[in-house]
Structure 1
Amino acid sequence: MRRTSGRSRNRSRRAGPSTGPVRAAVLSTAALLLSLTAGLLPAPAGAAGGAQTAQIAQAAQTAQTAQTAESARSARAAADKPAPRAGTYTNPVTKGTVDTFPDPVTIRGKDGLWYAYGTQNPVFQSRGESAERMLPILRSTNMVDWEYAGQVFTPRNQPAWHGGSRLWAPDIRYTDGVYTLTYSVPGKNNIGVATAPTPTGPWTDKGAALPTPSGCPTGGIDQALFTDRDGTPYMYWGSYDTLCVARTNADRTRIEGEVTQVAQGRRMEGAFVIRRGGHYYLFYSDAGCCDGAFSGYQVKVGRSTSPAGPFTDAEGVDLMDRTSKGTAVAGANGNRWIGPGHNSLQTDLAGQDWLVYHGIPAEQPDLERTPGVDKQLSKRPTLIDRLDWIDGWPVVRAGAGPSAGRQQAPVTSWDVGSTFNDGSLDGWHAEGAGTDGWSLAEEKDARTHVTHAGGDAPAYLVSGRTAPARVRAEADLKAGPPGGAAGLTVGYRDPRNHVTAWLDRDRGALVTDVVVDGTSRGERVTALPRNFRWGDWRNVAVEVRGTRMTVEVSADRLGDPVATQERGLPAAAARAGKVGTAARGGGTAADNVGAVTAHTPVTSRVPEPEPGALLPEYSDEFDGAAVPGTGPDSPWSWVRGRAPGTAMTGGALSWPTQNAELSLNTDTASVLTRDAPKGDHTVETKIDFAPDQPAQQAGILLYENDDRYVKNVHSVLPLSHLDGAYTHVSEFGKEGERPTTTPPTPVANAPMFGGPTARTMWLRLAYHRDTARGEHEVRASTSRDGEHWVPNGVWTLPAKGDLKIGLAAMNRAGATARFDYVRTYGG
């Protein structure tokens, strides 16, 4: 377990004068409820740290054995012990808990803890266990220290309709008062659905979500749910190489209606959609997820003004266009993480978004071969990193990519607030009307929460301490029966001075009210969907920055709010104050009420490395009459002889593609090479190339030999499941020895995919010698105008021999590449 540092909140502050009779009533009610429910409550959720974990386990055992109210309260209090604030973490966050945890997705449960779900894998190999866990579940108090919490299915209760298939890529949502888990059943080319009353189960099989055929060329895999502002539920799915979307029925167990293709690309998969501002953002991964040190996976994104598209990348390229796409969110950056991808999103209590994804460690990229599994699996532990929104687009760590060193941890405990799972209202004050109406209640999922008995006038339960003026506050609320309204209050001074966001059942709306000196400064009403279920928990989040307030209403904080409202505040209301919950009418409930200082957004990207000065002695404008490599004084030389048909025409090297390859054991293509400078440098070429057949490719290389090189080429590749269809890609390929073979042998060749292609393109390879790791490190980028460059990821190779500058045009005859120049720049 990693340790975090910081201060814990004081949960035992003395109550103010107005809480005395309230507390007595609360404790009386709580004691009765706890006595009734002793022995029926779930085992306490995990904590962060060895001694703390042991204490929780002991408390849980005591509660289960004694089945008394006192022991149940003790167990819940231990589970509710807050994680330290503002600590640090180091990726992978699942280290020490599980060996691998691919395709992760997380949710904050209504008990105030975080839960993660992953693809079926042998997660405990290091403990000597070869069996796989079917959709394993982890639990955490702080998003960085995790404990194993079970699995969705076991070999004994796996639904028969799966046919024994492995289960992949879960997605979790809180819908209609239950947890809805969708997952891939690749053996049946379909998507399964299961529901549960708590994040750890018990799970009820709801069958397959897709008809046969599904209406999507790729069948069923890598799904994610999404709910639009009008309450319409959608499912996105697809892999190899098309992503689709369709509406689902009300309980999200079956798709229905039209199926729309929203994205196509080589090995595109892993859709995850959120809405932010006026756009829908479709996150996905492409290239290859699971090839160990040769995994080219990256997270990319497109956006749209409709959940059904069209989605475009930051270059304006439609995700359905037959070309590779740019706008990388996270890709390999040359540190230890290979193939980062298959993401979900999570938001911490300060409002900072986090990318949750997996990566492959360079030092140990593969799991051991597992009995009963038909192939070797890549080791893919879970990573988290800060997700920044810059100029309307998301990117990990402002463009720095996956982190390998110590990072600032998510904010996961309140400055002011409580989950109420300790069975106490110490530090809370009842104000306004009905001060004796507040009491504690119990549910299996949310556990202890507060309710109010009712009354027409507003009642408030507010913190004893003050929250900051720049604040993010949250609460899980239920508005109760008709006539009820439940609210989240911020900036509270007294009943005459506060800002409250109400879930108002009679008006069917989110209603915000700003009260200053006893006078409302105007309500703002935002309609909620007609199918809004008032009896279920809903999360309300309020963020105040200066005099601007933003309010969101969602089911589970996963980027699909059903209502968003922005409004200005008078200066008298935009100030520090208490946080709390409000109630009108009977049957309202609140849980997980608290506030912290709102996060500080990062608004500028990390600058991309720029080439240095031109190095003429390593450059060629191709303005001579002789083909490079044919004269005695040429700095160029040919591998396997001059390519047929090469010629100098119009100040360019004209090169017809060959029916020859440079791949694995088939090394028949000609390669034009020359020495590269020592030290860091960038090689650039301008190429005119219009391939029209699969496998045709041309571009630039850094080449040691036929088994050790990287290339950045304009290539044509077929699309899976679409007969005869192909796509143009910026292919950033690598060939080298696979480090996990003994001895290492040159058996692997794999791509990453870069920005969009064009007939005229500029291609770059930037070289860096990583002396600390003993590696060649190469980053690719592409441009369609020679000025604006789209960065790709980084491939590494163990440094053995020197890399030369190279050109090639190969794999299938019929197209001609025209190289305008090769220019080399210093580091």
Structure 2
Amino acid sequence: MRRFTAALAAVLLLLTPAPARANPVSASFADTFADPMVLRGDDGYWYAYGTTDPLREGEKVAHRIPTARSSDLTSWTYLGDAFTAGQRPAFAAENAVFWAPDVRRSGDHWIMYVTVTETTVAPGASAIGAATAPTPAGPWTFADEPVVAPRPSGDGGWLWTFDPAQLTTPDGRQYLYYGSYFGGIWVSELSADGLRITGTPTRVAIDNKFEGAYVVRRDGWYYLFASSANCCAGPTTGYSVSAGRSRSPRGPFTDRDGLRLDVSRAGGTPVIAPNGNRWVGTGHNGLITDLAGQDWLAYHAIDRADPYLDEPFGINERPMLLDRLDWIDGWPTVRAGAWASDRLVTEPVTRTPLQDRFDTLSARTWQVVDGRWAVADGRLRGQGTLVARKPLPGDLRVEADLRGPAGLTIDTLSVRAEHSTLVIRSGRRTVAQTHIAPSTSLRHLSVERRGGQVTAMLDSVRLDARVHGRGPGIVGLTATAEAEWDNLSAGRPADPVRRAVAVPQPGRALNAYSDDFRGTALGAGWSFVRPDAAATVSGGALRWPVQNADLTGDSNTAGVLLRDAPAGRWIAETKVTLDLGEDTVRNYQQAGIVAYAGDDEFARLSAVAIWNTRQVEFGHEIPYAGATSYGGTIVGAPGLTTTWLRLAHSIDPRNGEHEYRAGVSRDGRTWTWGGVWTLPADSAPRIGLVAHGGAEPPVTAAFDYLRFSRW
């Protein structure tokens, strides 16, 4: 009986799912690990790099590009810092700090691109530097000259030359993206060694809206991921990521609605934004693909209950999170639109049924069909054909690092990089081929076979084919001449998520709470905080000249027109016409809808002029640490003059908080849903309208209605 009980316990242990990993994944070694970038090294481990900050609360000593390593993408070990305290390039000033690293393979070594915040040119003159290393763990040696030198702004200042991100295109050209709010995001081609930009730069994203570029190629499109809003506003940080895509690495990048990212009224399809849980400030991402072919977004976020590393309003505590990145209808979104998680419902696949780093060539695993094969220096070298002894059933994904005229096989299917061609063959028949740039470096080849559909990816080059028949799933390696392999894995491919989570949809109208402004005066139910006699009702609209006033900080001078909100779940919608012009600076004229619990506790959704841009900002202010904290998240772009705005309200069943999700439309039919802000459970927020932010030039906001409905 005791033996049976022990055996049953062992079976139950095997059948019980392992507890899901918690976010943040960097918690084992760091309280903060901002601007994360993740890659896989030659040794099969994943490496993560963060911006210069102290790692732990109370430490107060900055780590100069802290580096961590993982075998599974969820459990990380701190390895050390990329640079010592006195290590800096010749062009860096003594007080320079290194931010936002981006690490890529270049031939047989690695290059780290990094923001150098201060240079010897002048105070505030930032640059992009580079360091090289033989392995992802270092040691790192700075190049003497900047990759991107400081760039004058034309008014005596310097453009923000921040946040580098490298891209290699299928033709072998290398590009570097860089820039931030002051100056926008730019792209330049890189020299062959990757250590300096060449040619004429192209601006791909407008200034005063985007930073933190990261670009990937997928299905013939280049996707630009970029972060918006303030990275570091503590508990009200609205930092978030949106995307545009282009057929060219130089753009123009446009969002799902066709809006460009490099114009005043810039677009951007949401990838991740605050969703109402503990995480705010979800931004500055990297991207990594697991062994099943599933993409994951590495990004930083802020716990609104613990937003600062030490003192309030000091260094923002931004640990690294990891969540699944889905591609739905051609657009990326985290967790199908659910966004940041507290726990990973699924984990990255980092172990597969067949996996070999070729420390040895095991006769139990591999059978030589023909040719010569041997292991040396941690890599498999040889030519001919080598096959796995154990077949793998069903759909398969096989991948490996390789060099030379080499490829992978599944039964009679073979995919090979041959000179300047990537070829898919079924038996002896060529079924697809495409040109590739010649290379003597290690390349990454993946092959997925799903039924009769085959997809091959050689770095960023994709090739698809249809094949007939499917064998037992015997994986192999093949080469027509001496070649190398490393980090081979084979297993079941990920099942892609194809449907996004539901977004709020208006249902039954709540007419008793709504007003269409059909008379000549405000109807019953309205009340004013700081009445403004200039606000009038005529012609079926509330017409309100934009006030030279505001609600943020200590100002609290703006009028707020309010009415009671329904209980439960509802959507409030308004249609506002406000001519903010184009390109010119009109800070911070705005009009929109507000959830208002007080002058220092509100969530405000408005079409707003922010410097030369026109944005829809969802701002949030709360009392914090004896003062107030204000931040905003960007929902999208306003219409040319008319914009439709929605707030979708619900109650969080876990804590009773009021949750408000923001939506925007430029035509009243197609909606973009952005982030969520919360107000306390013990508050009784009302819903209202605002028109403030600046009096010059004079402009009047016209509200057609404020309508409520269930959802």
Provide TM-score, normalisation by structure 1.
Answer: 0.79
- Following the alignment from structure 1 to structure 2, what is the Cα–Cα distance between the partners of residues 460 and 430? 9
The one-letter amino acid of 1:580's match is G
What does residue 161 of structure 1 align with?
91
What does residue 432 of structure 1 align with?
369
For residue 237 of structure 1, the aligned residue among 156, 174, 178 is: 178
- Following the alignment from structure 2 to structure 1, what is the Cα–Cα distance between the partners of residues 217 and 89? 34
- Following the alignment from structure 1 to structure 2, what is the Cα–Cα distance between the partners of residues 324 and 666? 29
- Following the alignment from structure 1 to structure 2, what is the Cα–Cα distance between the partners of residues 310 and 214? 24
What does residue 717 of structure 1 align with?
610
What does residue 803 of structure 1 align with?
685
The offset of 1:391, in angstroms, is: 0.6
What does residue 456 of structure 2 align with?
551
What does residue 474 of structure 1 align with?
399
What does residue 246 of structure 2 align with?
304
Whether 1:145 and 2:75 are equivalent positions in the alignment is: yes
The one-letter amino acid of 1:526's match is T
Secondary structure of 2:137's match?
Answer: coil
The offset of 1:112, in angstroms, is: 0.8
What does residue 514 of structure 1 align with?
426
- Following the alignment from structure 1 to structure 2, what is the Cα–Cα distance between the partners of residues 527 and 135? 38
For residue 36 of structure 2, the aligned residue among 94, 99, 104 is: 104
For residue 570 of structure 1, the aligned residue among 455, 458, 468 is: 468
The offset of 1:799, in angstroms, is: 3.1
Secondary structure of 1:99's match?
Answer: coil
- Following the alignment from structure 1 to structure 2, what is the Cα–Cα distance between the partners of residues 673 and 801? 15
Structure 1 runs, 4 residues or longer, greater than 4 Å off:
84-87, 214-217
What does residue 414 of structure 2 align with?
500
- Following the alignment from structure 2 to structure 1, what is the Cα–Cα distance between the partners of residues 545 and 59? 55
CA contact (8 A) 1:172 1:179 kept: yes
Change (3 A) 1:503 1:765: same
The offset of 1:369, in angstroms, is: 4.3
Matches within 5 A, 1:604-643: 604-628=499-523, 634-641=524-531, 643=532
Secondary structure of 2:306's match?
Answer: coil
Whether 1:486 and 2:384 are equivalent positions in the alignment is: no
What does residue 70 of structure 1 align with?
none
Whether 1:581 and 2:480 are equivalent positions in the alignment is: no
CA contact (8 A) 2:274 2:677 kept: yes
The offset of 1:87, in angstroms, is: 7.8
What does residue 441 of structure 1 align with?
376
Matches within 5 A, 1:305-454: 305-369=247-311, 376-421=314-359, 423-434=360-371, 437-442=372-377, 448-452=378-382
For residue 209 of structure 1, the aligned residue among 128, 147, 151 is: 147
What does residue 482 of structure 1 align with?
none
CA contact (8 A) 2:209 2:613 kept: no
- Following the alignment from structure 1 to structure 2, what is the Cα–Cα distance between the partners of residues 212 and 333? 37
The offset of 1:475, in angstroms, is: 1.2
- Following the alignment from structure 1 to structure 2, what is the Cα–Cα distance between the partners of residues 580 and 137? 35
Secondary structure of 2:254's match?
Answer: coil
- Following the alignment from structure 1 to structure 2, what is the Cα–Cα distance between the partners of residues 580 and 86? 32
The one-letter amino acid of 2:407's match is G
Structure 1: stretches of 5+ with no match in the other structure: 1-83, 443-447, 480-484, 492-497, 555-560, 629-633, 719-725
The offset of 1:612, in angstroms, is: 3.6
Aligned pairs, number: 677
1:628-676 Cα shifts (integer Å, max 9, x gaps): 5xxxxx21111112x2322222111111111222221112221111111
1:735-772 Cα shifts (integer Å, max 9, x gaps): 1112xx1xx43x22221111221111111112223253
Whether 1:662 and 2:551 are equivalent positions in the alignment is: yes
Structure richer in helix, relative to its length: 1
1:752-795 Cα shifts (integer Å, max 9, x gaps): 11122111111111222325324222111111122221101011
- Following the alignment from structure 2 to structure 1, what is the Cα–Cα distance between the partners of residues 410 and 17? 21
The offset of 1:600, in angstroms, is: 0.5
The offset of 1:162, in angstroms, is: 2.2
CA contact (8 A) 1:266 1:324 kept: no
CA contact (8 A) 2:260 2:266 kept: no
- Following the alignment from structure 1 to structure 2, what is the Cα–Cα distance between the partners of residues 728 and 94? 36
1:14-47 Cα shifts (integer Å, max 9, x gaps): xxxxxxxxxxxxxxxxxxxxxxxxxxxxxxxxxx
The offset of 1:159, in angstroms, is: 3.3
- Following the alignment from structure 1 to structure 2, what is the Cα–Cα distance between the partners of residues 310 and 626? 47
What does residue 671 of structure 1 align with?
560
- Following the alignment from structure 2 to structure 1, what is the Cα–Cα distance between the partners of residues 560 and 272? 32
- Following the alignment from structure 1 to structure 2, what is the Cα–Cα distance between the partners of residues 427 and 130? 53
Matches within 5 A, 1:14-53: none
The offset of 1:449, in angstroms, is: 1.6
Secondary structure of 2:148's match?
Answer: coil
CA contact (8 A) 1:135 1:170 kept: yes
CA contact (8 A) 2:227 2:242 kept: yes
- Following the alignment from structure 1 to structure 2, what is the Cα–Cα distance between the partners of residues 489 and 389? 27
- Following the alignment from structure 1 to structure 2, what is the Cα–Cα distance between the partners of residues 528 and 156? 43
- Following the alignment from structure 1 to structure 2, what is the Cα–Cα distance between the partners of residues 131 and 475? 40
The offset of 1:513, in angstroms, is: 2.4
Whether 1:194 and 2:84 are equivalent positions in the alignment is: no
The offset of 1:523, in angstroms, is: 5.8
CA contact (8 A) 1:732 1:753 kept: yes
CA contact (8 A) 2:323 2:344 kept: no
- Following the alignment from structure 1 to structure 2, what is the Cα–Cα distance between the partners of residues 679 and 311? 40
1:129-170 Cα shifts (integer Å, max 9, x gaps): 321111011101110111011211010333343223111101
Change (3 A) 1:509 1:157: same
CA contact (8 A) 1:181 1:195 kept: yes
Whether 1:542 and 2:542 are equivalent positions in the alignment is: no
- Following the alignment from structure 1 to structure 2, what is the Cα–Cα distance between the partners of residues 401 and 669? 34
What does residue 701 of structure 2 align with?
817
1:255-308 Cα shifts (integer Å, max 9, x gaps): 111110111153410000011112110001000111111111111000011110
What does residue 23 of structure 1 align with?
none
Identify the range of structure 1 (543-552 vs 307-316) with the bigger mean alpha-carbon deviation. 543-552
The one-letter amino acid of 1:263's match is A
The offset of 1:86, in angstroms, is: 9.0
The one-letter amino acid of 2:374's match is S
Whether 1:682 and 2:602 are equivalent positions in the alignment is: no
- Following the alignment from structure 1 to structure 2, what is the Cα–Cα distance between the partners of residues 430 and 441? 18
Change (3 A) 1:108 1:344: same
The one-letter amino acid of 2:334's match is V
- Following the alignment from structure 1 to structure 2, what is the Cα–Cα distance between the partners of residues 328 and 622? 33
What does residue 528 of structure 1 align with?
436
The offset of 1:367, in angstroms, is: 0.3
The offset of 1:358, in angstroms, is: 0.8
The offset of 1:428, in angstroms, is: 2.8
CA contact (8 A) 1:324 1:753 kept: no
Matches within 5 A, 1:178-193: 178-188=109-119, 189-193=126-130
Change (3 A) 1:652 1:194: same
For residue 619 of structure 2, the aligned residue among 724, 733, 736 is: 733
Structure 2: stretches of 5+ with no match in the other structure: 1-15, 120-125
What does residue 130 of structure 1 align with?
60
Identity, % of aligned pairs?
40
Secondary structure of 2:636's match?
Answer: coil
For residue 115 of structure 1, the aligned residue among 41, 44, 47 is: 47
- Following the alignment from structure 1 to structure 2, what is the Cα–Cα distance between the partners of residues 361 and 391? 31
What does residue 4 of structure 2 align with?
none
Secondary structure of 2:118's match?
Answer: helix
Secondary structure of 1:161's match?
Answer: coil
Change (3 A) 1:130 1:320: same
- Following the alignment from structure 1 to structure 2, what is the Cα–Cα distance between the partners of residues 662 and 543? 55
- Following the alignment from structure 2 to structure 1, what is the Cα–Cα distance between the partners of residues 573 and 356? 57
1:97-140 Cα shifts (integer Å, max 9, x gaps): 21111111111111111111110111133xx5321111011101
The one-letter amino acid of 1:89's match is R
- Following the alignment from structure 1 to structure 2, what is the Cα–Cα distance between the partners of residues 682 and 512? 52
